[in-house]
């Protein structure tokens, strides 16, 4: 099983290297021998055209994504709980949300620049937009899917509105909210790369690969992409393992 999973990636590397040899143009397909040294020196700035080490740039990107994601979480979860619990609020917000939701996060870039100028705020805003809707919609769904009986049991046992929220509604909706966080983070991570292409940005993995393009350093582009992919994968694995550990009851419940 493990070997089968690795088969295709290894095959890709082999084909890549053969193609690099055949094409013989490092701008189109750089040899892996020029990519690997960058990846195995993640703390060194001497492979990245003086833009700081891979780890440094990754840390910057993670920090930006974390900030936008955190704000999205703090806004979306309470709003989602209220919308899931109170139909009137749901009706009030629903059409606006349905209208805004299909707009891709990147379509907000010009507006973000107009509002917040060039800088961290604009980037965080784009990430916020990307993460906000999946978290919100999953929270609403999760709260709505909480069984009526669970709430009524709590009521007959004397729980107040606050206790129902904390002891029944939140834990009951938690697995679905968590799915929303996971999806939201995935989208936020995609957004950060593009948001770092905004003018006036000079750090971050997104900036790094665009900068490398300007210098024709395709090997650095590839290295940057690999790091972006690995970080996204690692964070998704963390989300998944928490899901398995805490929220497995959702699938086991008959």
Binding residues for other proteins, per CB under 8 A?
A: 147, 149-150, 152-160, 163, 167-168, 171-172, 174, 247, 249-250, 252-254
Residue 69 beta carbon to other proteins: minimum distance, rounded to whole angstroms: 25
**Pick 62 or 155: Cβ nearer other proteins:** 155
Q: What value does the CA radius of gyration of the chain take, rounded to a whole number of Å?
A: 22
Please report how the helices 2-23 and 32-39 are oriented relative to each other, as an axis angle in degrees rounded to 10: 120
**Pick 164 or 205: Cβ nearer other proteins:** 164
Residue 122 near residue 113 (C-beta atoms within 8 A): yes
Q: How many CB atoms lie within 10 A of CB 204?
A: 29
Q: What is the phi-psi region of residue 104: left when phi exceeds 0, alpha when psi lies from -120 to 50, beta otherwise? A: beta
Residue 150 beta carbon to other proteins: minimum distance, rounded to whole angstroms: 6
Residue 183 beta carbon to other proteins: minimum distance, rounded to whole angstroms: 21
**Pick 32 or 155: Cβ nearer other proteins:** 155
**Pick 159 or 198: Cβ nearer other proteins:** 159
Residue 92 beta carbon to other proteins: minimum distance, rounded to whole angstroms: 21
How many whole angstroms from its chain centre is CA 164? Answer: 31
């Amino acid at each position: 099983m493990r070997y089968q999973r690795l088969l295709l990636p290894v095959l890709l590397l082999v084909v890549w290297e053969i193609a690099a040899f055949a094409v013989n143009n490092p701008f189109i397909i750089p040899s892996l021998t020029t990519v690997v040294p960058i990846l195995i020196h993640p703390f060194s700035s001497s492979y990245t055209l003086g833009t700081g080490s891979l780890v440094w740039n990754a840390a910057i990107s993670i920090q930006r994504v974390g900030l936008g994601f955190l704000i999205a979480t703090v806004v979306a979860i309470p709003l989602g709980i209220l919308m899931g619990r109170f139909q009137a609020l749901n009706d009030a917000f629903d059409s606006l949300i349905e209208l805004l939701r299909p707009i891709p996060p990147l379509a907000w870039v010009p507006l973000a620049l107009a509002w917040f100028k060039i800088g961290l705020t604009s980037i965080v805003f784009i990430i916020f937009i990307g993460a906000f809707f999946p978290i919100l919609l999953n929270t609403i769904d999760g709260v709505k899917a909480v069984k009526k009986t669970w709430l009524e049991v709590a009521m007959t046992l004397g729980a107040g509105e606050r206790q129902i929220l904390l002891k029944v509604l939140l834990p009951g909706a938690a697995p679905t909210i968590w799915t929303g966080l996971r999806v939201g983070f995935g989208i936020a991570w995609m957004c950060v790369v593009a948001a770092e292409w905004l003018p006036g940005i000079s750090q971050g993995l997104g900036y790094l690969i665009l900068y490398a393009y300007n210098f024709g350093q395709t090997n650095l582009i590839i290295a940057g992409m690999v790091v972006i992919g690995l970080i996204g994968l690692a964070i998704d694995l963390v989300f998944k393992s928490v899901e398995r550990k805490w929220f497995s009851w959702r699938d086991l419940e008959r």
